[in-house]
Amino acid sequence: MPEPKALSVSQFVDALNIVFADKVFPDGVTIEAEVAEYRVSQGKWIWFLLKDENAVVSCFATAWQLRQPLEDGMKVRVHGLPKIYAKSGKFSVTVERVEMVGEGALKRAFELMRKKLEADGLFAPERKRPIPRFPERVGLIASTESAAYSDFLRILGNRWGGVKIAAAHVQVQGKDAVRDIVGAFAYFNAHPELAEVIVLTRGGGALEDLHAFNSEEVARAVFASKVPVVVGVGHERDETLADYVADVRASTPSNAAERLTPDRRDVARELESCVQTMERALEKEIASRAHRLTDLEHQLQAHVRAARAEFDAVMSDLERCLLGFESRVRTLSGAVERDERLLRSFDPAAVLRRGYAIVRDKDGKVLRAAASVDTGAAIAVQLAEGTLDAEVTARR
């Protein structure tokens, strides 16, 4: 029998990896076991062991691929690819995804992820956004084949009308659920005209069934949404990490519809109450203004009466002043007439008209005594009509 062909170490390792990938585990491998010696290097590289009572296997993952925090003692289901690393010669499983197994592991994984997201600020109350009171466009992320989807639409229709629903059908559990939900958020955020609020919902189930809603990817998709998000998952006792991140948390899919829109009957009662309040306020304002107008009318009448009395008093004083003025005018008129007559009596022209004359010397000075002028002097004699030039011939 011929000797087998000698292989290099690289050829040998490559051959084994080809056998693993093509012959033994063409679809990868799923291992269910307990985590041991979990460690993270440089925040990037993750190593841990899977063990049972009789054996262990090494596992490797990257931090951006394995989003779920693990710790020793957790029971998990690992999906990955078996491989021998050429440089180290070690056999390990390159992890593609991890699922928790058992209630204890699921609860612990939930708590670890909750603490991580809380530390990153995803649950902060101050970042919660209000939703529109009367939304017109709603993006619904749900399984359109589920009772939760039907219940949501039924309750929404009973409470309010005219809401346009853009539904994105997704798997809500299983290996494709996280990818579907994250993709639906990306779709609605890329088309903001479709929704002014997004609703993420599914019915109840075991903690393992709600895994997608406790994943970091879905929680961060809710956090990164450009529009407000309402999350209503499971029954009232159920809580998921998506609930904590949501802007509005609803206890059930039906409650999500109730939280999203008001009941038309409540709005009708509210409107009726507002109308009644407005009517009472209007009646009160009208009564108050009418009372004020009455007061103003009384004040105006009082002012008119006072003004009229003052006017009458002024007019009375004015009439008395006019009577006194007329009397004074008459008195002054008589005095003026007397003075005028007196002045006229002293008018030289009037004296001249009675036959008198005014004699002036050559300088125009009035002569009052004969002795004041010499014989032979020229004089002027002013008569009532005209003037005579004369010569003094004798004095007496």
pLDDT higher at 177 or 335: 177
SS3 106: helix
pLDDT at residue 340 is higher than 90? no
Average pLDDT over residues 334-355: 75
- What structural domains does the chain harbor? 9-101 (2.40.50.140), 125-265 (3.40.50.261), 349-391 (no CATH)
Banded model confidence at residue 188, pLDDT cuts 50, 70, 90: very high
- DSSP string for residues in 286-344: HHHHHHHHHHHHHHHHHHHHHHHHHHHHHHHHHHHHHHHHHHHHHHHHHHHHHHHHHHH
Query: What percent of the chain clears pLDDT 90, i.e. is strictly above it?
Result: 41
Q: How many CB atoms lie within 10 A of CB 47?
A: 14
pLDDT at residue 186 is higher than 90? yes
For 292, 307, 308, 309, 337, the CA distances from 296, given in Å and listed in that order, are 6, 16, 18, 20, 59
Of these ranges, 10-24, 271-285, 378-392, the one predicted with the greatest mean pLDDT is: 271-285
Q: pLDDT tens-digit profile of 239-289?
A: 899 999 999 999 999 999 999 998 888 888 888 888 889 989 998 999 899
Average pLDDT over residues 100-120: 88
Cα atoms found within 13 Å of the Cα of residue 177, Cβ hemisphere only: 22
> And the tokens for 93?
């499983």
- Would you say the pTM of this structure is higher than 0.75? no
pLDDT higher at 327 or 118: 118
In this prediction, residue 337 carries a pLDDT of 84
For 25, 192, 230, 326, 348, the CA distances from 260, given in Å and listed in that order, are 48, 18, 8, 94, 121
pLDDT higher at 367 or 199: 199
Do 218 and 171 meet the contact criterion of CB atoms below 8 Å apart? no
Do 381 and 387 meet the contact criterion of CB atoms below 8 Å apart? yes
Q: Which helix (H) or strand (E) is 198 found in, with range? A: strand 197-202
Banded model confidence at residue 50, pLDDT cuts 50, 70, 90: very high
Cα atoms found within 13 Å of the Cα of residue 19, Cβ hemisphere only: 7
Q: How far apart are CA 55 and CA 235, in angstroms?
A: 41
In this prediction, residue 346 carries a pLDDT of 67
Q: Which residues contact 300 (CB under 8 A, 6 or more apart)?
A: none
In this prediction, residue 1 carries a pLDDT of 66
In this prediction, residue 37 carries a pLDDT of 92
Q: How far apart are CA 283 and CA 328, in angstroms?
A: 66
Q: pLDDT tens-digit profile of 90-99?
A: 999 999 888 8
In this prediction, residue 12 carries a pLDDT of 85
- b/e per residue, 258-281, with b = 16+ CB within 10 A? bbbbeeeeeeeeeeeeeeeeeeee
Indicate the range of 120-129, 149-158, 369-378 predicted with least confidence.
369-378
Average pLDDT over residues 198-210: 88
DSSP, res 126: G
**Mean pLDDT computed over every residue of the chain:** 88
pLDDT at residue 4 is higher than 80? no
